[in-house]
Amino acid sequence: GENVEQHPSTLSVQEGDSAVIKCTYSDSASNYFPWYKQELGKRPQLIIDIRSNVGEKKDQRIAVTLNKTAKHFSLHITETQPEDSAVYFCAPYLNQAGTALIFGKGTTLSVSS
Amino acid sequence: EPEVTQTPSHQVTQMGQEVILRCVPISNHLYFYWYRQILGQKVEFLVSFYNNEISEKSEIFDDQFSVERPDGSNFTLKIRSTKLEDSAMYFCASSEESSTNQPQHFGDGTRLSIL
């Protein structure tokens, strides 16, 4: 069946530190790997995504790396700020699931100043 | 930036009643989705919709649920005979294409509370 594992479930860092969240998926045919940020009571907001033809993508302080062989992709946030505090979800398309995004269980990131 | 809009933001309903949640997808998008999120849990896929028919549905999307595009802009989720466990946040999303390579954009959600 569909399987998306996300680690860690919680992550606490000091402002200015880096944060890394890892997502492991089961379907080797997957080709699209987004990360969503969800603040309390708000919508999941797409913050970065990567397609299977590249290994890394960067957007200012946020980057995503993809290892298709090992079937995992990671979110990297550098120079964290208190406003980065939120729940982060990986949500790959799993080929067997067709058009559905399959969300991980989420990582609660807390950035303290 | 265009957004997916959802109404109402909060719906309170008695158990057993029917509810209709409404969504206006981004105007040039062709594919529409419903997801739900039980409080404190992950987001779960319910259904995808294209060209006036369901493309895919999850095990959650049973006969209690239905979707419709009644006109050129709205996309609705109907839940019949609501149960306490239907209480959740329901998110609508849309994407330009359905190839498994396109971002889905989410609305702000409708919080459904079943009493």
Closest residue to B31, CB basis, from A46, A99, A105: A99
Whether the pLDDT of residue A85 is over 90: the answer is yes
Closest residue to B56, CB basis, from A95, A100, A106: A100
pLDDT at A93: 84
- Name which of B4, B113, B15 is nearest B64 in CA terms: B15
Q: In A, which residues are within 8 Å of B108 by CB distance?
A: 42-43
Residue-wise pLDDT tens digits, B74-105: 999 999 999 999 999 999 999 987 666 789 99
Query: Does B44 contact A at CB distance below 8 Å?
Result: yes
Question: What is residue A3's three-state secondary structure?
Answer: coil
Quick check: B32 and B48 in contact, CB under 8 A?
yes
pLDDT at B28: 87
Please state, in angstroms and rounded to a whole number, the distance separating the CA atoms of residues A49 and A57: 8
Q: What value does the mean pLDDT take over residues A13-18? A: 97
Q: Closest-CA residue in chain A for B111? A: A41
Quick check: A26 and A97 in contact, CB under 8 A?
no
Measure in Å the smallest separation between the Cα of B108 and chain A Cα atoms: 5
Measure in Å the smallest separation between the Cα of A44 and chain B Cα atoms: 6
Question: What is residue B96's three-state secondary structure?
Answer: coil
pLDDT at A97: 60
Closest residue to A99, CB basis, from B91, B100, B108: B100
Please state, in angstroms and rounded to a whole number, the distance separating the CA atoms of residues B51 and B35: 19
Whether the pLDDT of residue A1 is over 80: the answer is no
Whether the pLDDT of residue A108 is over 70: the answer is yes
pLDDT at B98: 63
pLDDT at A95: 65
Residue-wise pLDDT tens digits, B48-75: 998 889 988 999 999 999 999 988 789 9
Backbone CA torsion sign across B80, B81, B85, B88: positive
Interface test with B, best of A32, A37, A43 (most B CBs within 10 A): A43
Q: In A, which residues are within 8 Å of B107 by CB distance?
A: 43
State whether A43 and B106 contact (CB < 8 Å). yes
* Burial (CB count within 10 angstroms: exposed 0-12, middle 13-18, buried 19+), residue A57: middle
Q: What's the mean pLDDT when you consider all of chain B?
A: 93
DSSP B50: E
Residue-wise pLDDT tens digits, B26-55: 998 989 999 999 998 999 999 999 888 998
* Bridging pattern class, strands A45-51 and A72-77: unpaired
Q: What value does the mean pLDDT take over residues A13-36? A: 92
Q: Closest-CA residue in chain A for B95? A: A99
> Rounded to whole angstroms, what are the CA distances from A70 to A23, A24, B29, B95, B100?
11, 8, 33, 28, 20
Measure in Å the smallest separation between the Cα of B15 and chain A Cα atoms: 23
Q: Closest-CA residue in chain A for B32? A: A99
Beta bridge pairs of residue A67: A72
State whether B48 and A100 contact (CB < 8 Å). yes
Please state, in angstroms and rounded to a whole number, the distance separating the CA atoms of residues A78 and A34: 18
Please state, in angstroms and rounded to a whole number, the distance separating the CA atoms of residues B76 and B54: 12
Residue type, A83: E
